[in-house]
Amino acid sequence: MRPMLATAAEAPPRGDAWVHEVKWDGMRVLADVRSGSVTVTSRTERDVTAAFPELDALAGTYDDLLLDGEVVALDEGLPSFHALTERMHVTKRAQAERLARSRPVTLMVFDLLRLFGQDLTGQPWSARRRLLEELELDGRAWRVPEVHDDGAVLLRVTGEQGLEGVVSKRRDARYLPGRRSPDWRKVAHRRTYSVVVGGWRPEVGSGASSADRLGAVLVGLPDGEGGWRYAGRVGSGLAGSAGEALLRRVRRHECDAPPFADEVPRIDASGTTWVEPAVVVEVRTLQLTPDHRLRQPTFLGVRADLTPDELQEVEEGG
């Protein structure tokens, strides 16, 4: 089974028909407990049980249940996707157990899909939530977070606390496995950054024409020493005329070597045409990770009003 997905929204819906939850910055999983064992699967139905040995103890809770939730790694009390990346791709049990001691995860449980052999997906959210709360699941590596009636207030508070955002759900909504539904809506706190373009990659596809279409740009941020720190690859938002115009602009500045002070990962550098750091663009991103990489960035437009030198001045001015 694949989990139900939320549609993006600009703001949480209002009214008594809706309930609101914190949007956690983690890895979506289903935890299937049957006959004394636990199987954890990812959003794409990949078995990730070995990566999270902390969740084995769920086998001691109930004989049969299927939970939907988000695995998070907490860093000073806040979810850190950067920290979670150390855990989510581990396949060797011994390595996962070592990491569990130094970088433990917590399963934030927000839905109950099966209990004692009964499929609950056809029940409204309110009924599933009531049963979930009655189970009193509260372990060292899992918990059931609170829900809230006022989405606007929760959005403001999550922004102040540095959390990812809010998910709003209709109280009468059935669970639709694998489907994206307007009965669930998500609002994420995303930040904008002005970054310099240091390279471009063609669109991936068949035919010679794809080589002349912009697929992604490699961008950088000031490194505090007058140079540029590689900040990641931006592909979203470049379709159509926006990408065509940007490609024409950056092609004027093509060069032989990357303009970044640090090394660009091989997977990003492969197939890249390097450009001088002359074009500033605005991107929206979920967060800037501790190693100064943009997470899930989207191209918003060219900042013709800003020069690379002005970006450096902002960095030097703190």
Write out the catalytic residue numbers: 23
Residue 258 neighbours by CB under 8 Å, 6+ apart: 198, 199, 218, 230, 264, 269, 272, 274
Neighbour count for residue 67 (Cβ, 10 Å): 28
The two three-digit tokens of residue 192, written as one number: 């904008």
Element (H, E) at 119: strand 118-119
Q: What angle do CA 116, 68, 12 make, to 5 degrees?
A: 130
Q: How far apart are CA 64 and CA 58, in angstroms?
A: 10
**Helix, coil or strand: residue 304:** coil
Supply φ then ψ for residue 193, to 5 degrees.
-135, 145
Supply φ then ψ for residue 291, to 5 degrees.
-95, 20
Q: What is the DSSP letter of 83?
A: H
